[in-house]
A and B are shown apart, each in its own frame.
Chain A
Amino acid sequence: KQEVTQIPAALSVPEGENLVLNCSFTDSAIYNLQWFRQDPGKGLTSLLLIQSSQREQTSGRLNASLDKSSGRSTLYIAASQPGDSATYLCAVKNSGYALNFGKGTSLLVTP
């Protein structure tokens, strides 16, 4: 059974800092990995999708990497802003389509 772990559970940084969120998974036989953002009381917004054959994906100030063999992914946020404050969820897709989620990292960027 796939287990997804996210570290740290919570993070507080001053505005402008670069930061890294970590995700690890136990079963490396994945189809893809997806990073989501969730604002309080809201649904999930997809940030980046990395296929199993890819090493990284970039969108604006976000960069996600994938090391399938070691079961790890990182989400790098450059020049953080208060608007980046949210919970970030990592999810992996194995066979059968369903996503397995970590518990998320709660990020607070202070002005």
Chain B
Amino acid sequence: DTAVSQTPKYLVTQMGNDKSIKCEQNLGHDTMYWYKQDSKKFLKIMFSYNNKELIINETVPNRFSPKSPDKAHLNLHINSLELGDSAVYFCASSQVVNRDPQWAAFFGQGTRLTVV
């Protein structure tokens, strides 16, 4: 009964390739996120989707594009991969309307992307 699941867990690919990471949540949350955690372990927001609308888009290269087919899914597509894209990418979800007393964001297990 995984709450937030993302696939794949590991992804090794060559520079210039295009890849996608999938994320699904079964918590009924209305907001989903993509975070990037670099080698210094700093967790940085990339995108946020609320009810299928992009509401936050930090200074992320346009090679990265989030796609949300429905409220429970937020996939991350990356074009023309570069060496600097190597990192761990985490999907997360939360609820804005106060339904869950904890109000926390819950994370998937992460995707370790290595670009060679």
The answer to whether A and B assemble together is no
Q: Which residues of B contact A (CB under 8 A)?
A: none
